[in-house]
Chain A
Amino acid sequence: MLCCRGLDVRRRDTLVLGGVDLDVRPGEVLGVLGPNGAGKSTLLAALCGELQPAAGDVTLDDRALAHWPGAERAQRLAVLPQQSTLNFAFRVEEVVGMGRLPHASGRARDAEIVEAALLAADAAHLAGRSYLALSGGERQRVHLARVLAQLWPGAQGQTLLLDEPTSMLDPLHQHTTLQAVREFALRGAAVLLILHDLNLAARYCDRLLLLGDGRPQVLGTPEEVLRAEPLKAVFGLDVLVQRHPERGHPLIIAR
């Protein structure tokens, strides 16, 4: 399990993230919400070792993240960045196949996993095409398939960190993508994702962390977090919170 305790991150002497205690629990989808500049991506970067915390520590299975050998860590922890800068004409399945680089599972098994991961990200039809010929949303799904393949099939002890995985997707694919992530968690993996859409967060996350000004404001179930007062306090936005007529989770409507 990926945990952090008393996490502080500074950039040039400014505290950009402070006092975060968090467990990314197996089988659970944890959503991180917050306005621009609240420290969401900073949190994710600190959790995957990209940023060195000024104080506190990050552990993976009770071992400091920095002490994990690269390949072993990569078998347990996968990260999807917000944007990719890949500028080479790999075929789609080659990009997804890179998720298998930390493993030595053999060419045949890797090909099966790539296929399954592409299917899960609703990108199976893109196989064989050049990555550079894809649209932004298609590329995003291919990278999602890549990180899914890295941890495939998803089991207890594995953690997936996703930075705005739906930012470039159409409404249908926002749902299919998050559904795939949910199913991944159902198989035992722990998932942390950054989201902007409050209603998507309400529907697909088990717990939510609301960040504001680099500090955790509320941590709890969607029902606990998605209330008018904390949302007003953090986002400065007046909202109505209702119940989804069919599914029962909170439904947030701007006033």
Chain B
Amino acid sequence: MSASVRSRRLLIFLGVLLVLAIWLSLALGPVSLPLLDTLRAALRMVGLPVTAAGLEQAELILGQIRLPRTLLGLAVGAVLALSGVAMQGLFRNPLADPGLVGVSSGAALGAAVAIVAGASLGGVPAAFEPYLLSFCAFVGGLGVTALVYRLGRHDGQTSVATMLLAGIALTALAGAAIGLFTYMADDSTLRSLTFWNMGSLNGASYARLWPLLIVALAVSLWLPRRARALNALLLGESEARHLGFEVERLKRELVFCTALGVGAAVAAAGLIGFIGLVVPHLVRLIAGPDHRILLPASALAGASLLLLADLVARLALAPAELPIGIVTAMIGAPFFLYLLLRGRA
């Protein structure tokens, strides 16, 4: 009983933390707005009757810049953390990362194709141009993951071990292809590629937000429904089958969910590391491995962490901006080392 009380407390704490992170993300930025203006503009946005006098700038900054950015951070953080949980469950290894099934490297390859070859293709309709990068990244992520999954299938069964190795091989292959594109790139294209690989929530707009929001919502609603099956899967695939779960379908769904979620997140914000690895790990340390708590808690913590990291990214060097992947890696990598050394002691 005390365990479930503790879990509930953790969820409440993370919920409050997320609300706080959302507020900070809306209230802080290089442009300093009076707190009262921010509050009034926020209230107006949710439809409350507040006088608009003198709010033009606050409404513009909040509505057109900070809100889409906050929503993007929320969705990307939650989806990456949830995908991390799904992959750690699938591979039954707390150190697994969404990148293991090739979705990140596939997306990076797609992005490289879009950035380097896209410029010389020329055949893309103008209306489609702004979406080319996101589209290619998404397709690349999904494509490589599908291939990894296909290679893992044999006689109607999916071998997780084969998938792991296929993931490593295809990641290396994608790396080589990216290297080739890098070689062909000119200087400025190269820099775009480098920046994309470090991720950013910069330039979020509603038009590009909604596909990710739909995917994030679907993943956040669907994965918790498989919490019990994921718990059983941690015992082992046979054990989960003996407990009555359809393991093959579960594995397929987990891979699909991760590919879709990470693919959409990466397409919208570039490669952002360590959230998928560190957040589930952190939550597990506090709340234990039960997916009924782990999934919602990771989604909340992932979203909060990414929003706070983005705050650092946009304030540290203002008016310029730090790629967010640098911030998350700077928080994530030392933490990961700490876990490693702590586990050894």
Chain A residues packing against B (C-beta within 8 Å) = 48-50, 69-75, 77-79, 81, 84-91, 94-95, 98-99, 101-102, 150
Contact = CB atoms under 8 A, between A and B. Distances in A.
B289 A50 contact: no
Nearest to A95: B235
Nearest to A45: B238
A29 to B, nearest CB: 20
Interface of B: 3, 92-94, 228, 231-232, 234-236, 238-239, 241-246, 284, 288-290
A84 B243 contact: no
Given A87-B94, A89-B288, A101 B232 contact: yes
Contact of A77 (B231, B242, B245, B284): B242
Nearest to A72: B244
B244 A74 contact: yes
A98 B232 CA distance: 7
B232 to A, nearest CB: 6
Contacts, number: 67
Residue of A77, A81, A98 with highest tally of chain B CB at under 10 A = A98
Given A70-B246, A101-B231, A81 B288 contact: no
A77 B284 CA distance: 31
A84 B239 contact: yes
A81 B290 CA distance: 22
B103 to A, nearest CB: 23
Residue of B93, B94, B290 with highest tally of chain A CB at under 10 A = B290
Contacts of B235: 84, 86, 95, 98
B243 to A, nearest CB: 5
Nearest to A86: B235
- Please list the 4 inter-chain residue pairs (A to B) with the smallest Cβ-Cβ separation, ordered nearest first: A74-B244, A71-B244, A70-B244, A88-B289
Contacts of A70: 241, 244-246
Contacts of B94: 87-88
A81 B92 contact: no
A48 B231 contact: no
Nearest to B2: A128
Given A74-B243, A88-B94, 10 more contacts: A50-B241, A71-B244, A79-B238, A85-B92, A85-B236, A86-B234, A87-B93, A90-B290, A94-B290, A98-B231
Nearest to A150: B243
A90 B244 contact: no
Contacts of B236: 81, 84-86
Contact of A91 (B232, B246, B284, B288): B288
B141 to A, nearest CB: 27
B241 to A, nearest CB: 7
Contacts of B228: 101
Contact of B289 (A74, A90, A102): A90
B242 A48 contact: yes
Contacts of B231: 98, 101
